[in-house]
Structure 1
């Protein structure tokens, strides 16, 4: 008997498994193994696809953005501190999935907006804008931005710093906007773009500047905001606007209270809370009625309720940064409270946080401010450009708020919701007391 006959006889024998012949059983086993391998390969590919980010322009076409409730894309890895989901009352602050080119590190773009001259906007002749993405902000094309800003021309510039430029633009639907063009030559510009789109894109509050959309084409990274007519607070406090400031005491109190409400929303109404990290007068914009809108969230960090702080590289502006953050790098909402306290002092006095042109002992605002209050020189703290002095009791209450916010011990500083109560009480005092 030949070898082939022997093999044929053995493989043709029936087995105890359903009476199947041996060769049939082997074929079934091999087929099952191959099917299992193919299934595992498909599973791995699906997981890899989920993890890999898609470009911004593919979000809508891929079906990732289709309505307000189901948008749940993931962050790119450049934003290390952002957690998967931020919730607010009655709506969700969603993350944005953006694939962008790598860049080197840089500092924050400080948008220095000049006030509007009051001119009526000229027609630019742009075509009708594309329909907005449902449930989210719009992605503008570079062509739309160029038409709106007259080719990013110098005449459209309303603010300029070493790290970027802000332009005034008119869209095809006659909406006036402010376009922040980030200098995309560093990693910080990349982070700022992603953080602002993610954090402020879904947050809506009357005291927070509204982000309408963005442009990400090639090396361009642009953020499109609502246009705020009266520029920033820094301009009206520290530039030459005449002998009498248009910022009356009541307007200044409204600015302080509105800014406090915006920060309280970020700290107390969101989970995780948003730490702005760069509260200063140039980041507080003023609308036509002098109502404040906190802007520039490029340095913002998120902090989950179960954490007391997040450790990060120290960033911010000299004179506004909390001392404990400078020393340790540990950031929480009390760092924003400290910066807010400096802004309150700035609004009351009309002085810069650090002014090297002043006499010794007056260079640092917080030191001078504390000394004046200790000596009960309350009226001398008030900006001499005010047209009318406030009521003394109201002034004392606001001075107290400022000093509490800059307490060297961060744990002794009030939360923003408590600050709002104290400021509202000061407003009541001001209405019932005569000016100084």
Structure 2
């Protein structure tokens, strides 16, 4: 039974949904809404059965124990009719807006761009996964809205936005001292360990990067954006795809070149982020001489020459007393970005390594 349910989920995740082409009638949009709800219901039921979850999701009701279905009008009012002043950013899915509900609760509203065909798939995928993911280092999704052509995801609002807005900004990076950077690394590790090992389902994120790490009021990290995530069965170790998604600079070679992905693909992406957090440099657009094309090459060069302290962000240098710990973090980061997937650690290994210094 579980195998059949998983097949249902995978098939539905590959199908495309036509959403209101120009000139389509209102009845067409309504029909497509019902089709999407049925597909979501089928996919969520399959995931719940596979994961052993017992709660039921009523797509035509208001909410179940974990997911709320918003009406469109309150979200429109909360974002001041999706005004530019409330816009937080723009992604492949569509724009993200800050909103305030009538009870004063602040939310982040991700609205599917009507021009985005890929966004419909990502919307379906994220809605079908979020009811099964609960962890302090994952962004909490409050619910969604489906009305005609409108497809909206509603998240908790995190005022500090994304990690990259601090890490690569000359004014804000001063707020990331050594202790905070260690805490951010640790939080990302715990979130990934949950996805790979302890959640109801084994989840491969596939698009880990600093823009998808959001920070709460206390600068604790939360992994976001599960639109391209994939579910693995217990006996699966890797999978193959013809559709490469993600961001170059964070992709492992086996994924970028051959479409092979696994837990070790996420480990590679984590390793890139770890070295970026330690150095304050982006892997892509590396500022050094033409001798090194990216941060990974430069970090490896410094490590082989015993000069890895030169990788340290000057802001870290002001507060990092234990340079031996910094060196060890660099080594763990380099361990994660090895070319061969089989040579990289698991996230369980990373937890053990970061708790040691040998």
Give the TM-score band, short-chain normalised: 0.7 to 0.9
Contact kept? 2:177, 2:315, Cα under 8 Å: no
Structure 2 vs 1, CA of residues 93 and 359 (structure 1 numbering), >3 Å: closer, same or farther? farther
Find the counterpart in structure 2 of residue 266 from structure 1.
Answer: 195
Q: Structure 1 runs of 4+ off > 3 angstroms?
A: 54-60, 82-86, 93-99
The correspondence of residues 16-415 of structure 1 with structure 2, limited to 5 A, is 73-75=41-43, 85-87=49-51, 92=53, 132-161=62-91, 163-241=93-171, 245-270=174-199, 272-312=201-241, 313-355=243-285, 357-386=287-316, 387-415=318-346
**Equivalent residue pairs, number:** 326
Q: Distance in 2 between matches of 1:382 and 1:302?
A: 36
In structure 1, list runs of 5 or more residues that go unmatched: 1-50, 63-71, 77-81, 100-130, 430-436
Contact kept? 2:249, 2:283, Cα under 8 Å: yes
Contact kept? 1:75, 1:97, Cα under 8 Å: no
Q: Distance in 2 between matches of 1:197 and 1:287?
A: 22
Contact kept? 1:277, 1:335, Cα under 8 Å: yes
More helix by share: 2
Structure 2 vs 1, CA of residues 274 and 361 (structure 1 numbering), >3 Å: closer, same or farther? same
Q: Distance in 2 between matches of 1:268 and 1:162?
A: 28
Q: Distance in 2 between matches of 1:59 and 1:317?
A: 28
Q: Deviations over 1:238-269 (max 9, x none)?
A: 12325x61001110011001101100000001
Q: Which has the larger radius of gyration?
A: 1
Q: Is the deviation greater in 180-189 or in 318-327?
A: 180-189
Find the counterpart in structure 2 of residue 66 from structure 1.
Answer: none
Q: Distance in 2 between matches of 1:216 and 1:362?
A: 48
Q: Are residues 1:419 and 2:330 paired?
A: no
Specify the SS of the correspondent of 1:245: helix
Contact kept? 2:252, 2:268, Cα under 8 Å: yes
Q: TM-score, normalised by structure 2?
A: 0.83
Measured after TM superposition, the shift of residue 59 of structure 1 is 11
Find the counterpart in structure 2 of residue 433 from structure 1.
Answer: none
Find the counterpart in structure 2 of residue 36 from structure 1.
Answer: none
In structure 2, list runs of 5 or more residues that go unmatched: 1-11, 13-30
Measured after TM superposition, the shift of residue 86 of structure 1 is 4.3
Q: Deviations over 1:379-429 (max 9, x none)?
A: 210112333234122112211110111111111211101111222335xx9
Q: TM-score, normalised by structure 1?
A: 0.69
Contact kept? 1:405, 1:414, Cα under 8 Å: yes
Q: Distance in 1 between matches of 2:296 and 2:71?
A: 45
Measured after TM superposition, the shift of residue 203 of structure 1 is 0.9
